[in-house]
């Protein structure tokens, strides 16, 4: 086996995936003693998908590891901060009011003899008539969200928050920002259309473009849903998740703000008739869209439903219709080609995980891409890990649907049954009727980012609450919940309003 050092990498595709990967690999490999040629080829005519505007909290660590100035990143991408997602209408209305629950990013460490969730459940049993929703009782982010406060104080350093936070950012501006950083870091940028992919003995030898041909040790496929490179190496390499997650189309709409309307520091995901609508606030405009089941609604119906939901007060800047492929590769790494981002797989963006999976895929390259001709064992290890991450995420997204009590049409009736496609989830949901969800219940999986805490916010937000009988003294239960209230109060006292924070970074 040829175990010689890696000399060259060619990335095809210049969307978020291509440029995040290029920047990451150039920072990883290229320092004075170790230079690898990294080239990125992108087609100007084809362009990028240009959606994908909310992130999970772990993206901060990617940007920080790349040495990026957080304030510059936020300014250049018209970004705002995100403390979580407000889910609306995922269950039947309660007392005539739309059902809502909040899913923050934070992990609240237990402060007493029992964990916070058990304390909350036992307290509800004692005070039947006055039960505060789980996030409201336990999450600091909830109190920030309610008051449109940011997770930042006057004194925190970059990438630090009182609670974990993600971003809302303009996807097109982010790709441009990362392009600048990556080319400054030495990545060669080629604008060309790939017209052919030459393969020999299970490896790509060169990509042919209208500007010439390019050889390389390793090729990274970042060409979006089509997976141009990986497709040329292996057919029958796609596993679809569309039976359990049927939303395979989206209509995205950008809107102007109304005068005096302020950007919210959280994403909203409102369930509609055949899917759900996102609302993501940037500093200069709002991104909205409807992710829907394309087998049940036409484009026109989806666009009309989204417009009816949004109302006509705010001017629409742009409308785009998108087809989505829900699922992932069986093998992300075939021969000398690795498929990343949409080329590798995609699960509907309900928890804003697209960029996060690119981050994880790139980080796994750091440990796996160790020579010019990696062994089959390396490829298998990478493929197993990536498959685990997608399987884990698929389970978490299905959880949001299968807990619904909505039965107003076939889409929601089927959604309520969707856990049947994931027996491991069904087993856990049975278990979670009798005990709180905790780390050990999920410990065998490849947690993409969502832990027992995240599961709890969805489970208890959607009323899947266990019946438990723990003989814990009332005083201990009150102490735990009072302690959380004090922490919520302190968080509110310390934090800057979202508006104050955005004004502050504009000036710097």
| Smallest distance, ligand FAD to C-beta of residue 365, A | 15
Which positions from 116 to 135 touch ligand FAD by CB under 6 A, shown as an x/- string? --------------------
Judged by CB under 6 A, the residue of 11, 38, 49, 310 near ligand FAD is: 49
The Cα 462–Cα 94 span in angstroms is 12
Q: State yes or no: is 82 an active-site residue.
A: yes
User: Tokens 């997204």 label which residue?
Assistant: 397
* Residue 210: strand, helix, or coil: strand
- The reply on whether position 140 binds ligand FAD by CB under 6 A is no
- The reply on whether position 228 binds ligand FAD by CB under 6 A is yes
The Cα 23–Cα 333 span in angstroms is 20
Helix (H) or strand (E) holding 334: strand 333-334
The Cα 133–Cα 95 span in angstroms is 15
- The reply on whether position 52 binds ligand FAD by CB under 6 A is yes
- Closer of 302 and 402 to ligand FAD (Cβ): 302
481 is in an annotated binding site: no
- The reply on whether position 288 binds ligand FAD by CB under 6 A is no
The Cα 286–Cα 123 span in angstroms is 39
The CA–CA distances, whole Å, from 67 to 63, 85, 308, 339 equal 7, 28, 43, 25
Q: What are residue 334's DSSP bridge partners?
A: 337
342 is in an annotated binding site: yes
**47 CB neighbour count, 10 Å cutoff:** 12
| Smallest distance, ligand FAD to C-beta of residue 482, A | 36
For the sheet with 84-88, list strands across it. Answer: 100-104, 84-88, 267-271, 275-281, 286-293, 247-255, 316-323
- The reply on whether position 54 binds ligand FAD by CB under 6 A is yes
Helix (H) or strand (E) holding 81: strand 80-82
Residue 257's nearest CA partner among 312, 309, 315 is 315
- The reply on whether position 230 binds ligand FAD by CB under 6 A is no
- The reply on whether position 277 binds ligand FAD by CB under 6 A is no
**Residues 257 and 285 sit within 8 Å (Cβ to Cβ):** yes
- The count of residues interacting with ligand FAD (CB under 6 A) is 39
Judged by CB under 6 A, the residue of 15, 263, 275, 327 near ligand FAD is: 15
- The reply on whether position 18 binds ligand FAD by CB under 6 A is yes
- The reply on whether position 246 binds ligand FAD by CB under 6 A is no
The catalytic position among 82, 179, 181, 428 is: 82
Judged by CB under 6 A, the residue of 248, 352, 359, 488 near ligand FAD is: 352
**Residues 77 and 170 sit within 8 Å (Cβ to Cβ):** yes
Judged by CB under 6 A, the residue of 14, 164, 327, 335 near ligand FAD is: 14
- Report the relative pairing of strands 218-221 and 316-323 from DSSP bridges: unpaired
- The reply on whether position 355 binds ligand FAD by CB under 6 A is yes
| Smallest distance, ligand FAD to C-beta of residue 278, A | 7
Which positions from 186 to 205 touch ligand FAD by CB under 6 A, shown as an x/- string? -------xx-----------
493 is in an annotated binding site: no
The Cα 55–Cα 356 span in angstroms is 7
The Cα 264–Cα 189 span in angstroms is 36
- The reply on whether position 227 binds ligand FAD by CB under 6 A is no
Cα 281–Cα 394–Cα 343 angle in degrees, nearest 5: 75
Backbone angles phi, psi at 141, to 5 degrees: -60, -35
Residue 314's nearest CA partner among 378, 393, 261, 246 is 261
Which positions from 147 to 176 touch ligand FAD by CB under 6 A, shown as an x/- string? ------------------------x-----
Which range, of 107-115, 325-333, 336-344, 437-445, touches ligand FAD by CB under 6 A? Answer: 336-344
| Smallest distance, ligand FAD to C-beta of residue 221, A | 9
The Cα 194–Cα 209 span in angstroms is 4
Instruction: Give the orientation angle of helix 376-402 with respect to helix 452-461, to 10 degrees.
Output: 20
Q: Which of residues 462-501 bind ligand FAD (CB under 6 A)?
A: none
Judged by CB under 6 A, the residue of 156, 190, 322, 468 near ligand FAD is: 322
Judged by CB under 6 A, the residue of 22, 28, 36, 48 near ligand FAD is: 48
Judged by CB under 6 A, the residue of 9, 11, 12, 68 near ligand FAD is: 12
Helix (H) or strand (E) holding 485: helix 474-494
**Can you give the binding site for ligand FAD, defined by CB under 6 A?**
12-18, 41-43, 46-49, 51-55, 171, 193-194, 222-224, 228, 250, 252, 289, 322, 324, 341-343, 349, 352-355
Active site residues: 82
Annotated binding site for L-tryptophan: 351
Enumerate the known binding-site residues for 7-chloro-L-tryptophan.
82
């Amino acid at each position: 086996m040829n175990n010689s050092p890696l000399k060259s990498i060619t990335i095809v595709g210049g969307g978020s995936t291509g440029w995040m990967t290029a920047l990451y690999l150039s920072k990883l490999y290229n320092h004075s003693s170790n230079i690898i040629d990294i080239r990125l080829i992108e087609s100007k005519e084809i362009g990028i998908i240009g959606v994908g505007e909310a992130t999970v909290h772990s993206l901060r660590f990617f940007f920080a590891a790349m040495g990026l100035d957080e304030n510059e990143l936020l300014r250049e991408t018209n970004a705002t901060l995100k403390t979580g997602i407000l889910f609306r209408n995922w269950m039947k209305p309660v007392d005539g009011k739309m059902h809502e629950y909040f899913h923050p990013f934070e992990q609240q460490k237990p402060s007493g003899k029992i964990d916070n969730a058990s304390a909350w459940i036992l307290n509800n049993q004692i005070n039947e008539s006055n039960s505060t929703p789980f996030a409201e009782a336990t999450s600091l982010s909830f109190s920030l969200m309610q008051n449109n406060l940011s997770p930042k104080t006057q004194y925190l350093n970059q990438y630090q928050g009182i609670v974990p936070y993600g971003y809302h950012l303009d996807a097109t501006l982010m790709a441009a920002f990362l392009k600048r950083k990556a080319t400054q870091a030495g990545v060669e940028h080629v604008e060309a259309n790939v017209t052919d992919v030459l393969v020999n003995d299970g490896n790509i030898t060169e990509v042919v473009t209208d500007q010439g041909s390019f050889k390389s040790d390793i090729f990274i496929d970042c060409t979006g849903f089509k997976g141009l490179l990986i497709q040329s190496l292996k057919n029958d390499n796609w596993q679809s998740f569309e039976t359990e997650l049927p939303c395979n189309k989206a209509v995205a709409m950008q809107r102007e703000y109304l005068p005096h309307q302020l950007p919210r520091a959280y994403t909203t995901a409102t369930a509609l008739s055949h899917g759900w609508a996102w609302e993501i606030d940037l500093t200069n405009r709002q991104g909205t869209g409807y992710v829907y089941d394309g087998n049940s609604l036409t484009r026109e119906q989806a666009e009309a439903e989204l417009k009816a939901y949004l109302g006509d007060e705010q001017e629409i800047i742009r409308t785009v219709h998108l087809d989505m492929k829900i699922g992932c590769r069986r093998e992300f790494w075939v021969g000398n080609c690795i498929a990343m981002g949409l080329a590798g797989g995609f699960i509907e963006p309900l928890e804003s995980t697209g960029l996060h999976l690119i981050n994880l895929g790139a980080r796994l390259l750091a440990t796996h891409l160790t020579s010019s001709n990696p062994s089959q064992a390396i490829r298998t290890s990478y493929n197993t890990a990536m498959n685990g991450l997608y399987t884990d995420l698929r389970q978490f997204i299905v959880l949001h649907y299968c807990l619904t009590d909505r039965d107003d049409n076939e889409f929601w009736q089927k959604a309520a049954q969707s856990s049947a496609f994931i027996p491991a989830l069904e087993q856990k949901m049975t278990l979670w009727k009798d005990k709180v969800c905790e780390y050990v219940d999920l410990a065998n999986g490849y947690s993409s980012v969502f832990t027992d805490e995240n599961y709890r916010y969805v489970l208890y937000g959607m009323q899947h609450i266990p019946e438990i009988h723990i003989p814990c003294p009332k005083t201990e239960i009150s102490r735990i919940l009072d302690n959380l209230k004090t922490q919520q109060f302190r968080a509110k006292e310390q934090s800057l309003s979202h508006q104050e924070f955005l004004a502050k970074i504009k000036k710097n």
